[in-house]
Structure formats: structure tokens, C-alpha cells
Amino acid sequence: MSDLRTPDLTVHRQHNTRTPAPDQAARYGVGPSKGRSNAASAPGVAEAEPRREGAPGQEAAGAADPGLPVVVRAADEAALYRVARRRARQKVQRKERVDVRYSVAEKQAILAEARRLNLAGAHYVGAVVMAHLHGDLALPGQRTSHDDLIDELAALRFQVAAIGKNVNQIAFKLNSGGHPHPGDTALLAEARRVLGLARDAATSIDVAADNAATSKAA
């Protein structure tokens, strides 16, 4: 059985339950990211607190109408995951600081989003700022349709690859021997069919993403 893999998207999550006091200064409350995982959960993985479309951590600063559906844009999610992964830890800890002050609500929103991404608050803020300076993360109003399309395709690619991985696990179990059950042959044939569809979909997404990136650069 052939495999459908997702390069560089497998991550390991670490959980942090420490919640800084709201009235602490932001630069001391979050602290350095020493000893914390820089890995973010991948797009498409369910999160404990999905956010509405708009600014990161918006739900922490203001209560949402419980009657409204929650909307999460894959483009926004993928952009954050991408930039958070890119700012890798250095061999020598960064020494230089840029002090910035936030309101209590702003700090709570920043820390809530950092926790949702499994990042230290300092790493989250630093990654977003540096990504904007390097042109990897556009501020609201500066993103183009190509930016949104590329990030949507990246999120979709991960979800399709996850389907392929699940089907591979099912097929492996069916092929592992033991006592067969009624319907195993039909289920294995269906698993092969779905895996083929997932592989074709992943290839089409890769081609579309490459075309979008080429069009943006033109």
C-alpha cells in the first residue's frame, strides 16, 4: 500500500497550564521561550478555543455572541503556523529587547492566542513582528488574494494528507493478518480507492499552490 505523506507538517505539542496574572507587565509575564516548544499545532487540527475571523485572540478581549457561528479562516491560521515555525531558536539566546506596553485586554488577547498555538507569549510576538519585517506576514489590508489563496491551499493540503494517513492506517490494519472479518475485502478496496483520490487531490493542490506562488511573484 502506497503512502501519502505530508512533509514538514508533523508536530509535537506540549501543554502549558501556567497562566500569568493579568496585571503583570507583558515583557515579564510571558518571559523567554526557554524550555518551551516552538512547535505549533498544524492547520486542520481542532483547537480548544477556535477564534472568529479577525484579529488573533479576539475572543479574549470581548465576549462573542453565542448565537453566531464561529468562523475560522484557514488563510489566517496557516500564516500564523508558518511564521511561528520559521523563527527557530538560536544556539545563543537572543539578548536584545524592544520594550512595548499593552493594555490588560491586549495582553490577555496576546497570551490567549499564544497558548492556543502552544507558544510562549514572547515567541509569538517576536515571530509575528519579524515575519512582517521579512514580508512573510502582511498586516490587515496589505494581504493580496494570492496570499489568501496560497495559505488556504496549504491548510487544505494538510487536511487531505491527514485523510490519506488515516486510510493508510486502516489498510495496514486490514493487511496485518489475523482472523478476517466479513466485509474486510470490500473495505480494503474502498480504502485503496479513497487513498487514490486523496493522492490525486494532493497533487492538484500542489500544482494550484505553485501556480498561485508564480502568479504572485510575476
Split the chain (218 residues) into runs of 10 and give each run's mean pLDDT. Answer: 41 37 37 39 36 39 46 57 62 80 92 83 83 64 69 83 88 76 82 89 88 76
Q: Within this chain, do residues 74 and 94 fall inside the same structural domain, yes or no?
A: yes
In a domain, 18, yes or no: no
What's the confidence (pLDDT) of residue 130? 79
In a domain, 35, yes or no: yes
Q: Within this chain, do residues 126 and 34 fall inside the same structural domain, yes or no?
A: yes
Overall pTM surpassing 0.85 (yes/no): no
CB 41, CB 11: distance < 8 Å: yes
Q: Within this chain, do residues 61 and 107 fall inside the same structural domain, yes or no?
A: yes
What's the confidence (pLDDT) of residue 216? 72
Angle between helices 74-86 and 121-133 (to 10 degrees): 100
DSSP H helices in 37-144: 58-61, 74-86, 104-116, 121-133
What's the confidence (pLDDT) of residue 107? 92
Q: Please report, to the nearest 10 degrees, the dihedral formed by the alpha carbons of residues 73, 43, 56, 51 taken in order.
A: 70
The domain boundary, picked from 98, 133, 168, lies at 133
Q: Within this chain, do residues 116 and 157 fall inside the same structural domain, yes or no?
A: no
Query: Which is nearest to 80 in space by CA: 49, 52, 39?
Result: 39
In a domain, 13, yes or no: no
Q: 160 lies in which domain range? A: 145-217
What's the confidence (pLDDT) of residue 128? 82
Q: Within this chain, do residues 95 and 155 fall inside the same structural domain, yes or no?
A: no
77: left (phi over 0), alpha (psi -120 to 50) or beta: alpha
In total, how many domains does the chain have? 2
Q: Within this chain, do residues 127 and 149 fall inside the same structural domain, yes or no?
A: no
Q: Within this chain, do residues 40 and 94 fall inside the same structural domain, yes or no?
A: yes
What's the confidence (pLDDT) of residue 106? 92
What's the confidence (pLDDT) of residue 209? 83
The domain boundary, picked from 133, 157, 187, lies at 133
% of residues, the chain, pLDDT over 90? 5
Computed over its alpha carbons, how large is the radius of gyration of the chain? 21
In a domain, 2, yes or no: no
The domain boundary, picked from 133, 154, 175, lies at 133
